[in-house]
Amino acid sequence: MNHPIELSPPDIGAYKSGNTGVDYVYRFDSGKPGPNVMIQALTHGNEFCGAIALDRVFSLKIFPSKGKLTLAFANVAAFARFDFKDPDRSRFIDEDYNRVWGDEALDGPRDSAELRRARALRPFVDAADFLLDLHSMHEPCRPIMVCAKSEKSAAFSRRIGVPADLLIDTGHPAGLRMIERGAFNDPASPKTAVLIECGQHWEKSSADVAVDTTFRFLAATGCVPESVCRAHYRLIPPPTQRIIRVTEAVVPQTMDFRFPYMFKGLEVVPRKGTVVATDGDRVWKTPYDNCVMVMPSLAHLKPGTTVLRLGRYD
């Protein structure tokens, strides 16, 4: 299904040179002790609400009052080929940039446009104490903060204060995501990473969510004063935040995979045993009452790629 494109991709050409020796990557050092904070946009080239948020940070000349702040536009090669007539084409060039963050991929012999970019950004990612990865979703859905498998990421998301739904999931069978890399995935390490799904890719509201979350994240890390960030909040935070725990990822094995109907994001299926997908002879059913349908989408259907997560609210 094609969705209306209400946002225009920002012009990021002015940021190409960076100031780190890596194109489209900037690091600002306060000169004072404090956290090493990183924000990344354009993990996928067609998810540009995050680039709008970073452009906003640059235009406002936001700098850290303590510690360091790194701002990175990731898959700029994919973003450069964004086409309003075929917007999904710019998701990546060769492979998903957000599935290559394991050492076996980064240090292995394989080559792709995304691996080359990830290898260039790895030193910044590994140096970060706090990392925010800005994303959006193909199907309409309220925002979700993805906390990987990490309780510490969920706790940090409560400090950020948005959004209402916090997701602790099972990872991706196709490869390691950036927020799961190294110390981010170690419960004993204070290093913490979160990924915000800001809404449908091209809804105007996704840009508001991206900007709002970016400034709340900066305030929560302490690298930019909350008094500075508060002036740029755009949304009212939810009265409560709830954790959704994923218990099963639905991963097609064939191109015959089908949903019985197109689920809405975060739809709650009330009855245990309800059929939610078929794939040839394989049938997926809800494993419990009040099962949450997390990010259902057939837009990128292929064997081995997660198209739905089954979860439950705490």
Q: Which residues contact 250 (CB under 8 A, 6 or more apart)?
A: 276, 277, 284, 306, 307, 308, 309, 310
Q: Cα-flanking dihedrals φ and ψ of residue 206, to 5°?
A: -65, -35
CATH class belonging to 13-232: alpha beta
Of all helices (H) and strands (E), which one includes residue 124? helix 113-127
CB 163, CB 154: distance < 8 Å: no
Residue in 277, 296, 294, 297 with CA at minimum distance from that of residue 285: 277
Pick the CATH number of 246-313 from 2.40.50, 1.20.120, 2.30.29, 1.10.287: 2.40.50
CA distance 308 to 232: 34
CB 294, CB 310: distance < 8 Å: yes
Q: What is the pLDDT of residue 88?
A: 87
Q: Cα-flanking dihedrals φ and ψ of residue 105, to 5°?
A: -85, -45
Question: End-to-end CA distance of the chain, in Å?
Answer: 32
For the chain (length 314 residues), average pLDDT per consecutive 10? 87 98 98 98 97 98 98 98 91 96 97 98 98 96 95 97 96 90 96 98 96 98 98 97 96 94 95 96 96 92 90 96
Q: Quick one: tokens of 77?
A: 């090669």
Same fold, 13-232 and 246-313: no
Domains in the chain: boundaries: 13-232, 246-313
Q: Quick one: tokens of 228?
A: 């500075």
CB 228, CB 152: distance < 8 Å: no
Q: Quick one: tokens of 262?
A: 């197109």
Q: Quick one: tokens of 294?
A: 């997390």
Q: What is the pLDDT of residue 70?
A: 98
The β-bridge relationship of strands 25-29 and 36-41 is: unpaired
CB 85, CB 21: distance < 8 Å: no
Q: Quick one: tokens of 236?
A: 């009212």
